[in-house]
């Protein structure tokens, strides 16, 4: 391996893979005040009774397809539009003001020794995170939707690792070997019920909600985020396939493993995170409340009350 090969490898990495801290130099909006992901402090969320159950349309049946799995150099993405175009898999309810239809889903993961979710809970990163991206039906294209507030709705799901494989993910995991390098894609042999990838329907009423952005450039601040509390189980060996199989580089370029493909948590600023009624944390008295209780108890003991 020559010194020149190492030199050009380094140059290629700097040009093609600038880190998240440099994204605002590529796209000004990446330095905005409503960026994603965020850290969710579960005791600081605010209950919103308007965050009811979702209505999932088409999630319970296998659409016509075809679905295509793509390595885009940042993640592995599964197209959900199919031959009929956008509109087969839709959501409404859940506090959304309009209906949204699915475009694609993708994943964020870590390394062999670290977790890789984008959102964090009380500062803790989870093993992996899946985003199901939906577009507001008011708009005709992704480009148009990205130009309007609440143009997109993303459902975010955490994963938990178990020893046993999750058979519902076998189709996706087996396809990873066919899209090892950036730009490679493969058409899945068949579609499946999207609900099979998610937690049980009864567990999907517990979630957090906030307004934010896309987590890659151009970081458009047009996303209604829903972060579900219930994690999805995935086999340890299945997660290892994401970490070890995928490359962020094209097949004819120096290899760059696709690992830690998450954006760090962004400042929440003046935004608030809301919780659905079943997702709100149990009551936890504040320090001021405890002080008041102790004062009342002391006063009762000395006969003041």
Domains and CATH numbers, the chain: 29-287 (3.10.200.10)
Cα(201)–Cα(53) distance, rounded to whole angstroms?
Answer: 10
Task: Give the pLDDT score at 81.
Answer: 81
- CA 22 and chain centroid, separation: 21
Cα(293)–Cα(285) distance, rounded to whole angstroms?
Answer: 10
Of 34, 75, 288, nearest to 172 by C-alpha is 75
Is 74 catalytic? The answer is yes
pTM: 0.87
Of 142, 124, 275, 273, nearest to 214 by C-alpha is 142
Instruction: Kindly state the tokens that stand for 271.
Output: 């935004």
* Selected catalytic residue, list 22, 134, 139, 208: 139
Task: Give the pLDDT score at 190.
Answer: 86
Task: Give the pLDDT score at 282.
Answer: 55
Name the percent of the chain lying above pLDDT 70: 84
Sorted by sequence, the CB contacts under 8 Å of residue 140 that are 6+ apart come out as none
Cα(257)–Cα(130) distance, rounded to whole angstroms?
Answer: 19
Mean pLDDT of the chain: 88
pLDDT tens digits along 5-41: 434 443 444 455 568 989 988 899 999 999 999 999 9
- CA 260 and chain centroid, separation: 14
Low-confidence ranges of the chain (pLDDT < 70): 1-18, 82-87, 281-305
Instruction: Kindly state the tokens that stand for 87.
Output: 């509109």
* Selected catalytic residue, list 28, 74, 100, 106: 74
């Amino acid at each position: 391996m020559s010194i020149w090969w190492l030199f050009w490898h380094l140059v290629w990495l700097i040009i093609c893979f600038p880190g998240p801290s440099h994204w605002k130099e590529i796209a000004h909006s990446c330095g905005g005040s409503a960026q994603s992901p965020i850290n969710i402090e579960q005791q600081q969320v605010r209950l919103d009774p308007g965050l009811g159950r979702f209505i999932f349309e088409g999630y319970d049946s296998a659409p016509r397809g075809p679905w295509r799995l793509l390595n885009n150099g940042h993640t592995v993405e599964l197209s959900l539009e199919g031959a009929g175009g956008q509109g087969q898999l839709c959501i409404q309810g859940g506090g959304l003001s309009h209906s949204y239809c699915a475009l694609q889903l993708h994943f964020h993961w870590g390394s062999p020794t670290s977790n890789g979710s984008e959102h964090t809970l009380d500062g803790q990163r989870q093993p992996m995170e899946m985003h199901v991206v939906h577009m507001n039906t008011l708009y005709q294209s992704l480009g148009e939707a990205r130009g309007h507030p609440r143009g997109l709705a993303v459902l975010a799901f955490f994963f938990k690792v178990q020893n046993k494989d999750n058979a519902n993910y076998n189709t996706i995991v087996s396809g990873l070997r066919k899209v090892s390098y950036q730009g490679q894609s493969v058409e899945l042999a068949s579609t499946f019920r999207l609900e099979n990838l998610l937690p049980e329907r009864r567990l999907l009423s517990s979630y957090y909600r906030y307004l934010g952005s896309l987590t890659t450039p151009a970081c458009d601040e047009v996303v209604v985020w829903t972060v579900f509390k219930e994690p999805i189980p995935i086999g340890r060996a299945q997660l290892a396939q994401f970490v070890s199989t995928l490359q962020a580089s094209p097949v004819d370029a120096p290899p760059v493993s696709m690992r830690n493909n998450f954006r760090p948590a962004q400042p929440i600023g003046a935004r608030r995170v809301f919780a659905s009624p079943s997702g709100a944390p149990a009551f936890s008295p504040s320090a001021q409340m405890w002080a008041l209780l102790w004062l009342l108890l002391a006063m009762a003991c000395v006969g003041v009350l």
